[in-house]
Amino acid sequence: MKVLFARPHGEQASGDGGVEPVTLRYNAAFDVYQEIVDRNTSLMLSGSKPSLLAYLEEERAFEELDGARHALLTAAALAYPTVH
């Protein structure tokens, strides 16, 4: 199966100009998510229960991480197209 990706109008045809910013976004989202998960995990391991707000914060961080992952994969596919 061949998957075709179209470049948005005006995007550079070479280099990783579109990949670097989304890589930074992904790394930042991962760091935030990991920090929240670590905090909630340490609360649970100490016998406490994270608040509902803490669970919501973790869910929001996961959604941001998932969006950043999707953007990174899309940018990489556009910057480095391959034939499958």
Question: How confident is the prediction along the chain (84 residues), in pLDDT tens digits per residue?
Answer: 444 445 554 455 445 568 999 999 999 999 999 999 999 999 999 999 999 999 999 999 999 999 999 999 999 989 888 854
Contact of 59 with 37, CB cutoff 8 Å: no
Range(s) of the domain holding residue 72: 19-79
Q: Is residue 58 included in any domain, yes or no?
A: yes
Q: Of how many residues is the chain composed?
A: 84
Q: Is residue 4 included in any domain, yes or no?
A: no
Q: Which segments of the chain are extended strands (E)?
A: none
Give the number of other CB atoms < 10 A from CB of residue 43: 14
How many whole angstroms separate alpha carbon 23 and alpha carbon 10?
20
Q: Is residue 55 included in any domain, yes or no?
A: yes
Contact of 1 with 84, CB cutoff 8 Å: yes
